[in-house]
Amino acid sequence: MLTKLFPPKTIELPNGKIVIQKRSMTPLTILVTIVLTYISVRITDFDLQILVERIKEFFVILNKMVPPTWDYMPKLWEPLVATIKMSLFGSVLGAIFALPIAMLAASNINRTRWIPAVTKFILSILRTLPTLVVALIATFIFGLGTMAGTVAIFLFTVAYIGKLLYEQIENANMGAYEAMNAMGLTTIQSFRYAIFPQVLPNYLSTSLFCFEGNVRYASILGYVGAGGIGLLLNESLGWRNYANVGMILLMLAVTVYLIETISEYFRKKLM
């Protein structure tokens, strides 16, 4: 259809040869982008004037966070450790459960068509659900506290690592796997000795990367009652105590930086 709307340009070279040049779609792409941006602005009621006038309030709040309330620090250790424990436990459990689920989702391991299709569909649903919504539902089931946050992080980790892992399995070299299967080894045994060593470095690297992100996500799960330092963050923001908020954010930033540095070191060793 686009070819009919924008017919290719015919160019005759000095040697008499005819060359057909396709029309550039760049002007059309820019036009569509402008139209969609305009529609988005209308739908979301975005107002650039308000943004320009009120942006100074952000720096006012930022200014109130400095200096942070250092006396507030001793009260933060326990919820901060709870946040890290919640993230670590949910990430480890999620990474372990993602492995058999990725095996079920890999179409080159399961010859039955419906098993990989159903498994991928379930993983897609889990990825679609926002972690905050899952945590909120979990609080209704398991009550307020870190249990709900751990469940939310666990499901997110299963969906995230499961998706990346089954793609790595489907792209693995199947020669050794098929040879072991032909020798009489079971599917799990063949996977263990032929496929798993191929995907293991990426699997561990992805798990560490997911853990980094989970520490950040866990900090906001307290907004829905899932425990951790997010609960204090929500409370301090509610009372407009920005000096306490500054202390919480500072401790969170230092913690995330340390975890990222450590996990980055191990990821480089694995790759």
Query: Burial, 241: exposed, middle or buried (Cβ in 10 Å; 0-12, 13-18, 19+)?
Result: middle
The pLDDT assigned to 19 comes to 78
Nearest to 65 by CA among 218, 230, 238, 250: 250
Number of other CB atoms surrounding residue 188 within 10 Å: 12
Q: Mean pLDDT over residues 211-228, rounded?
A: 79
CA distance 80 to 146: 11
The pLDDT assigned to 271 comes to 64
Q: Is the pLDDT of residue 238 over 80?
A: yes
Distance of CA 142 to the CA centre of its chain: 24
pLDDT in tens, 29-68: 899 999 999 898 888 888 888 888 888 888 888 888 888 8
Nearest to 7 by CA among 27, 21, 28: 21
Question: Is the separation of the CB atoms in 123 and 101 below 8 Å?
Answer: yes
DSSP 8-state code for residue 24 = P
The pLDDT assigned to 176 comes to 86
Query: Global pTM?
Result: 0.75
pLDDT in tens, 77-96: 888 888 888 888 999 999 99
Going through the chain in order, the beta strands assigned E by DSSP cover 9-12, 18-21
Q: In which region does residue 186 sit, left (phi positive, over 0), alpha (psi from -120 to 50) or beta (all else)?
A: beta
Strand pairing category for 18-21 and 9-12: antiparallel
